[in-house]
Chains A and B, each alone.
Chain A
Amino acid sequence: MDLERDETIERVAQALAVVPPRDAQAVSRVMAAVRAHKAQRPSRLTLVMEWMRQPAFSVASAGALAAAALVLGFFSRGAFGNAGSDQSARSTLEGQPTGEFPIVTGGVLPASNSHEVRAVPVPLVFDARNAKSVVVVGDFNGWDDTKTPMVRYGTDGPWTATVLAKPGRHVYAFLVDGTTLVADPRAPRAKDLDFGGDASVLMVTPP
């Protein structure tokens, strides 16, 4: 047991047990320095602005940034701007798709794709023997008169096209010779409270 009572260790222990007096002035100096440092610290906005202003771009990094911006700008333009609706349409007969299948666009308001439903093909027929051209326009193709031109069946037959529309209620019409909008005589009339005019209702059933 005596071996464990080392004299040196006991002296060190006694020395450490004495707490030195606290220098109040030193403490206040440290705290003042901390407060001053905090007050001088620039805001996040200032930091961001300084970061953006720093002319530290190398030629390579500037080029890469420009390329990235161009690519992203290009794709985002395609996705948000020039896309049609998420439903499309195409002319049929002779198997010649003339419409395009545009990029699906997303809404900015809360939207979820968890219960999206698929569009189904719906054939449309329209008798207009004297027409030079007939186009289907409706909410399923964004009322775009370049998307769904109809095809004449034979040389003197009716005009036909197949549109892709999601289950639900749709409004559409036929644009004859690029000037006259005509409702589909085979479908119920749509009551348009915005513009009036001729249009029809298409109720699409899920497959």
Chain B
Amino acid sequence: MIFIRRCAAVAALAVAVATTASAQQDSRLTLIRDDATREVVRQQLGGALSRGVPVEPMMAKALEGVAKRASSKSIKAAMTRLEENWHRAAKALAPNPTDDELSAGADALQQNVPESALRALRKQAPGRSIALEIGVLTQLVARNVEPGQASKMVLELMARKATGTQLTALSSAVQEDVEAGLAPAMALDLRGRGIMSLLPPPSAVSTLNPRSTPRP
């Protein structure tokens, strides 16, 4: 019995040490050739992990900065922002967000999508991944659609059980319209109406198919 207890204690210690140490000894750190940047990233990773943010998105942000030849100062600032946005996304997408949703949520917040919009999306679909919907909303806002209008449209389409293909089609169509010179608000309204004309109203969806499973 004593032996088992000691084993458990040593194992827990090993896991804790390895988890923290691994963040600071990730082999991908060697991809960062600049010593100062590598040290900054190492410290940021260790700190973020201790505060509950996984290594992967933080490391990806660092390597993105390296690929774009950003300074160590810029990379540090970007990693700090990501960590803050990750925590904000975790609150907005509670109670059980996936890492994909958190990544998408942090990206959305970075693009100035409000937390209230994320909360509304989660409320609309509490039992399935909404990473795609968050991505569509983010892209609409990135194309200068006003966040309130964009989130209202995405929520409306979700309520009518729009498919993932329809949602991404909306994003692409608005993108093309804006590039062609149409005002973002008008492009979203036109394209959104077009897709909604193919879908039943929300009340019909809930009445006709009350136990329908969420869209995959």
Q: Which chain A residues have a beta carbon within 8 Å of chain B's beta carbons? A: 51-52, 56-57, 61, 64-65, 68-70, 72-74, 76-77, 80-86, 105-117, 137, 139, 142-146, 166-170, 173, 175, 181, 188, 190-197, 199, 201, 203-206
* List of A residues within 8 angstroms of B127 by Cβ: 115
* List of A residues within 8 angstroms of B28 by Cβ: 82, 142, 144
User: Would A110 and B94 be within 8 Å (CB), given that A143-B63, A167-B131, A203-B171 are in contact?
Assistant: yes
> Would A195 and B19 count as touching, CB distance under 8 A?
no
Q: Which of B103-111, B181-189, B194-202, B203-211 contacts A (4 or more CB under 8 A)?
A: B103-111
> Would B22 and A85 count as touching, CB distance under 8 A?
no
* List of B residues within 8 angstroms of A181 by Cβ: 67-69
* List of B residues within 8 angstroms of A83 by Cβ: 56
Interface mask (B9-30 → A, CB under 8 Å = 1, otherwise 0)? 1110111011101110111100
* List of B residues within 8 angstroms of A82 by Cβ: 22, 26-28
* List of A residues within 8 angstroms of B17 by Cβ: 73
> Would A111 and B136 count as touching, CB distance under 8 A?
no
Q: Which chain B residues have a beta carbon within 8 Å of chain A's beta carbons? A: 2-3, 5-7, 9-11, 13-15, 17-19, 21-23, 25-28, 31, 49, 52-56, 59-61, 63-70, 74, 77-78, 81, 86-87, 90, 94-100, 102-104, 107, 110-111, 127-129, 131-132, 134-136, 138-139, 142, 163-165, 168, 171-172, 175, 179, 216
* List of A residues within 8 angstroms of B134 by Cβ: 168-169
> Would B18 and A139 count as touching, CB distance under 8 A?
no
Which of A116, A146, A203, A206 lies in contact with B139, CB distance below 8 A? A203
5 additional A-B residue pairs with CB within 8 Å, beyond A110-B95, A115-B129: A72-B14, A73-B18, A143-B60, A166-B131, A168-B131
> Would B102 and A109 count as touching, CB distance under 8 A?
yes
Which of B19, B52, B63, B165 lies in contact with A144, CB distance below 8 A? B63
* List of A residues within 8 angstroms of B53 by Cβ: 107-109
Which of B7, B103, B107 lies in contact with A65, CB distance below 8 A? B7
Q: Taking CB as reference atom, which chain B residue is nearest A198?
A: B68
* List of B residues within 8 angstroms of A191 by Cβ: 111, 142
User: Would A76 and B15 be within 8 Å (CB), given that A110-B95, A169-B135 are in contact?
Assistant: yes
Q: Taking CB as reference atom, which chain A residue is nearest B112?
A: A193
Which of B22, B23, B67 lies in contact with A173, CB distance below 8 A? B67
User: Would A61 and B22 be within 8 Å (CB), given that A85-B56, A106-B54 are in contact?
Assistant: no
> Would A146 and B135 count as touching, CB distance under 8 A?
no
User: Would A194 and B54 be within 8 Å (CB), given that A85-B60, A139-B103, A168-B135 are in contact?
Assistant: no
Bound Cα distance from A59 to B25, whole angstroms? 31
The smallest C-beta distance from B65 to any residue of chain A, in angstroms, reads 5
Which of B21, B74, B129 lies in contact with A116, CB distance below 8 A? B129
